[in-house]
């Protein structure tokens, strides 16, 4: 059922002509098939648009994000770029690693999954320890 709906949307976009370029992005994103790169050493003046533009020459960029501090809303100096295919992501990683972007050398690597916080959790303190022996 969902596949038929995607085909219908794809045909509609293809018939328009100008929106045909968005068709692969729609399909790749709807299937959940993306390849994510970590970009470190970003300038504080870098934007998500400039990051997407810099990496778009190596393939179809699904999404580009720059991580910001929650309190100050300033960039933390790193971000992520999602590609539609593994080949495009690997090509971008090889070509862009160590290059200068907005006046700073950037480091590109394959993004790793977040570690499970429950495994590293510390026990919650429940007040001062009880005295031993003097009851």
Domains within the chain, CATH numbers bracketed: 35-110 (3.30.70.330)
Q: What is the pTM of this model?
A: 0.62
DSSP state of 57: G
Question: Do the beta carbons of residue 106 and residue 96 sit within 8 Å?
Answer: yes
Q: What confidence tens digit (pLDDT) does each residue in 33-89 have? A: 569 999 999 999 999 999 999 999 999 999 999 999 999 999 999 999 999 999 999
Q: Which residues of 98-132 are buried (b: 16+ CB within 10 A; e: fewer)?
A: eeebeebebebeeeeeeeeeeeeeeeeeeeeeeee
């Amino acid at each position: 059922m969902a596949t038929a709906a995607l085909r219908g949307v794809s045909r509609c976009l293809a018939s328009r002509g100008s929106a045909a370029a968005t068709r692969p992005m729609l399909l790749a994103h709807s299937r959940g098939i993306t390849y994510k790169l970590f970009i470190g050493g970003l300038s504080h003046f870098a934007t998500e648009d400039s990051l997407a533009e810099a990496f778009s020459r190596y393939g179809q960029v699904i999404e580009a994000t720059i991580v910001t501090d929650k309190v100050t809303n300033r960039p933390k100096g790193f971000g992520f770029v999602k590609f539609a295919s593994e080949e495009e992501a690997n090509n971008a990683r090889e070509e862009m690693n160590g290059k200068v972007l907005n006046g700073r050398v950037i480091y590109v690597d394959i993004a790793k999954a977040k570690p499970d916080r429950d495994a590293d959790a510390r026990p919650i303190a429940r007040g001062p320890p009880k005295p031993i022996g003097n009851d």
